[in-house]
């Protein structure tokens, strides 16, 4: 059995900053890193909050047999931390320990000045990158505080966009801590300062877990960090990337070029996909483009390996034609021919599936539906359902889905 241990020590937690040392011992090899979180506000997360965030960020790392966090965590919270880790790694014997007494620094800042004065009456906060999907969430869920994560030079394109919206910013160098980072967990570092109890993400249908199963299912997807006292919400799971671009184009068309540029680098599949969606919407709405479609990736993606990509390729084949869609994905000729010869309007791609409105918190649902209608976005009608089922028939040759 591998001998994997991890130690979080040398913490500095002061208003506006958290830093620490991380030492990993894996199969006898030692790796040491120093990480930090810096805030543009004098937020002071509690030791318990920091410990919970670190454990949550570890969920995509290899299992550790020994975890030590040099922070004082009360017994009740420590039990929650242990349960959180063990629930994600069932059957593994892991020892998780924290320090037994509060740090001197903790006592010094036990009651930081003005910490509670900044607590908002708004129970929600939106994780905001400035990309199309989170920008759409911003305009659908008005007057919700924004939290942005600044990753550094490689992601300067995001900062160029999100800083225009005056968000609360967390600057960090922790990007290389794990293969995948749970960004809502990082946002949790501001919960004690801002007072929110729900963190909203801009994740859409294509970004949802097991999206091909969700395509024809109404099962609730549970994904949360309730152990921290905050519920993670994905209220625009009902929308696809076409709908979010429609929302942004309607409510803030001047922001479209900068938001597209913030999504991904040029010549990537994601950037080209977003640009094609914008091109289609502008074309359908008779708008003069205020952006240029970026160059396609050097190689088109393969069909049958990503459900969301296959799903959107059918829309592109209908709206933009075979020549353009094949620069994006190697879609089978039989599928393209089927689409081109059909009388499908594909209007349902620009509407929402009302089965998934449960994703929107009930107290916000009515106002979101009004905002969607303002952008010309409505729910499926009977004709949309007929076309939807026909598309399922095309997709089910590659994916294990069934018609609703």
For residue 34, give the 3-state DSSP assignment: strand
**pLDDT digit string (tens) for 291-305?**
999 999 999 999 988
Burial class (CB in 10 A: 0-12, 13-18, 19+), 341: exposed
For the chain, the helix, strand and coil percentages under 3-state DSSP, each to the nearest 5: 45, 15, 35
Among candidates 188, 86, 202, which has minimal Cα distance to 137? Answer: 202
**pLDDT digit string (tens) for 219-248?**
433 333 455 678 888 899 889 999 999 999
Q: Check whether 116 has a pLDDT greater than 50.
A: no
Range scoring the smallest mean pLDDT among 66-70, 130-134, 323-327? 323-327
**pLDDT digit string (tens) for 197-221?**
899 999 887 765 445 455 444 443 3
For residue 12, give the 3-state DSSP assignment: strand
Q: What CATH number matches the domain at 4-108, 3.30.420, 3.30.230, 1.10.3470, 3.55.50?
A: 3.30.420
Q: How many residues does the chain have?
A: 404
Q: Give me the mean pLDDT over the 363-388 stretch.
A: 95
Side-chain half-sphere exposure of 124, counting CA atoms within 13 A: 18
Q: Check whether 69 has a pLDDT greater than 90.
A: yes
**pLDDT digit string (tens) for 16-27?**
999 999 999 988
* Most confident among 4-8, 62-66, 176-180, 214-218 (mean pLDDT): 4-8
Domain parsing of the chain, residue ranges:
4-108, 124-145+196-395
* Radius of gyration of the chain measured on its C-alpha atoms: 23
For residue 70, give the 3-state DSSP assignment: strand
**pLDDT digit string (tens) for 337-355?**
888 888 889 999 999 989 8
Q: What is the DSSP letter of 111?
A: S
What global pTM score does this model have? 0.89
Tell me how far apart the alpha carbons of residues 363 and 189 are, in angstroms, rounded to a whole number. 25
Q: Check whether 28 has a pLDDT greater than 90.
A: no
What are the E-state strand segments in 226-371? 231-233, 301-302, 329-330
Tell me how far apart the alpha carbons of residues 111 and 204 are, in angstroms, rounded to a whole number. 39
Among candidates 182, 187, 142, 184, which has minimal Cα distance to 168? Answer: 187
For residue 41, give the 3-state DSSP assignment: coil
Q: Check whether 250 has a pLDDT greater than 80.
A: yes
**pLDDT digit string (tens) for 151-172?**
987 788 999 999 999 999 999 9
Q: By the 8 A CB rule, do 236 and 359 touch? A: yes
Tell me how far apart the alpha carbons of residues 263 and 255 are, in angstroms, rounded to a whole number. 12
**pLDDT digit string (tens) for 120-149?**
568 999 999 999 999 999 999 988 999 999
DSSP per-residue letters across 156-208: HHHHHHHGGG--EEEEESGGGGSSS--HHHHHGGGHHHH--SEEE----GGGS
Q: Give me the mean pLDDT over the 263-286 stretch.
A: 93
What pLDDT was estimated at residue 220?
Answer: 38
For residue 335, give the 3-state DSSP assignment: helix
Q: Check whether 255 has a pLDDT greater than 80.
A: yes
């Amino acid at each position: 059995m591998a001998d994997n241990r991890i130690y979080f020590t040398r913490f500095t937690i002061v208003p506006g900053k958290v830093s620490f040392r991380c030492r990993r011992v894996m199969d006898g090899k030692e790796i040491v890193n120093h990480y930090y979180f810096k805030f543009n506000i004098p937020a002071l997360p509690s030791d318990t909050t920091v410990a919970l965030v670190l454990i949550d960020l570890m969920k995509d790392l290899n299992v550790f047999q020994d975890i030590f966090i040099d922070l004082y965590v009360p017994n009740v919270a420590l039990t929650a931390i242990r349960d959180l880790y063990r629930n994600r790694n069932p059957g593994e014997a892991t020892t998780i320990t924290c320090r037994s007494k509060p740090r001197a620094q903790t006592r010094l800042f036990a009651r930081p000045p003005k910490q509670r004065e900044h607590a908002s009456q708004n129970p929600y906060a939106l994780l905001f990158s400035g990309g199309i999907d989170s920008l759409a969430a911003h305009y659908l869920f008005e007057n919700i505080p924004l939290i942005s994560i600044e990753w550094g030079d490689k992601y300067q394109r995001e900062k160029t966009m999100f800083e225009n919206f005056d968000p609360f910013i967390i600057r960090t160098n922790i990007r290389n801590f794990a293969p995948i980072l749970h960004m809502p967990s990082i946002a949790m570092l501001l919960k004690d300062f801002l007072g929110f109890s729900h963190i909203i993400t801009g994740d859409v249908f294509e970004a949802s877990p097991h999206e091909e199963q969700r395509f024809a299912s109404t099962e609730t997807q549970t994904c949360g960090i309730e152990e921290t006292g905050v519920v993670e919400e994905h209220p625009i799971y009902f929308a696809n990337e076409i709908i979010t671009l429609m929302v942004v184009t309607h409510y803030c068309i001047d922001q479209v070029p900068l938001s597209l540029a913030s999504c991904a680098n040029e010549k990537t599949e994601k950037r080209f996909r977003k640009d094609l969606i914008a091109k289609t919407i502008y074309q359908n709405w008779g708008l003069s483009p205020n952006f240029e479609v970026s160059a396609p990736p050097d190689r088109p993606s393969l069909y049958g390996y990503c459900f969301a990509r296959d799903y959107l390729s059918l829309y592109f084949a209908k709206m933009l034609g075979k020549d353009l869609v094949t620069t994006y994905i190697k879609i089978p000729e039989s599928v393209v021919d089927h689409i081109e010869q059909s009388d499908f309007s594909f209007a349902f791609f620009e509407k929402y599936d009302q089965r998934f409105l449960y994703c929107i918190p009930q107290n916000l649902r009515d106002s979101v539906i009004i905002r969607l209608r303002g952008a010309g976005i409505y729910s499926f009608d009977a004709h949309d359902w007929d076309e939807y089922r026909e598309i399922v028939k095309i997709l089910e040759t590659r994916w294990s889905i069934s018609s609703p």
